[in-house]
Amino acid sequence: MADVLRFRNDDPIEEPAVTLDAFVDQEDASAVRIEAGEDPRRLIPVLDRVKLVELGIPRFRDGRCFTAARILREAGYEGEIRAEGDVLVDLIFFMRRCGIDSFAPQSPLNRADVDACLSRYEHVYQHAADGAVPIWKLRHG
C-alpha cells in the first residue's frame, strides 16, 4: 500500500480486486477492478457491497476512467475509487474532480508536484463530484 496515494480518511481496503464479471457473480467480494472499456453501470445494482473500485488506466491518454468515476459517484457510490496504471500528475486535479480519491501509479509521483497540481486552480467553472462551488455561483449567489 506504500505506493498508493489516498485522499480518504477511512482505512485502506486490503482485499485484492476481482474482475467486473467475477464481482457481479460473487457475493463475498468487496473490491472490483474495471478495465478501460467496461461498463461501470453494471455495478449500480450491487453498489451496497462495493468498498473499492479500481479503475485500470492502460495509457494516460485513455480518459474512460473519468467517465467511470463520474457515473459511480452520480449513482451514489461513496467508497474508494482508485486510478491504477498510467496516472500522470497533470491529470490528478481533474481525476479528483470526477471522484477518484486514490491513485496507484505505475511510475512514482513526486508528492510536491501532486500538491502543486491540486492547489493550482482556486476556482472551478462547473459542478463535479468533488462538490466544489463553481465561480459563477459564487459571483451570483
Highest mean pLDDT among 2-11, 46-55, 61-70: 46-55
Q: How much of the chain exceeds pLDDT 70, in percent? A: 98
Strand order in the sheet with 52-57: 5-6, 102-105, 80-85, 52-57, 31-34, 18-19
Domains of the chain: 5-140 (3.40.50)
As a whole number, mean pLDDT of residues 107-116 equals: 92
Asked whether the CA dihedral 120, 126, 132, 138 is positive or negative, the reply is positive
